[in-house]
Amino acid sequence: MYGHVCDALAELNAVFSFPATAFLCLRLISSAFSLYVSIYGILNSNTFLKSVVPATITFGIIGFLSILIVFNAADMPIKQVV
């Protein structure tokens, strides 16, 4: 799966600039990590992790939504005002 993500990021690098690709990569990693912490906190009986589950779920969802917004913005046609 990591190989597919690297291939996808290499193709995105041709479309996006380096800062946009770095933003997408870091946002994807942070969202996946926060959702991992959420699932781990739900499955285990650690009280600290159970207390941060709502925050990490919210952070993960907002992260994935921001990635979708960037992808949708890249698909939009460019309109020039003359």
What's the pLDDT score for residue 1? 65
Q: What's the pTM?
A: 0.60
Residue-level length of the chain: 82
Which range of 12-16, 19-23, 62-66, 73-77 scores highest in mean pLDDT? It is 62-66
pLDDT band at 14 (very low <50, low <70, confident <90, very high): low
Convert the pLDDT of each residue in 50-81 to its tens digit: 888 888 888 888 888 888 887 777 666 666 55
The candidate with the shortest Cα–Cα distance to 38, out of 55, 63, 23, 14, is 55
pLDDT of 44 higher than 70? yes
**DSSP structure string for 4-73:** HHHHHHHHHHHHS-HHHHHHHHHHHHHHHHHHHHHHHHHHS--HHHHHHHHHHHHHHHHHHHHHHHHHHH
For residue 6, the one-letter residue type is: C
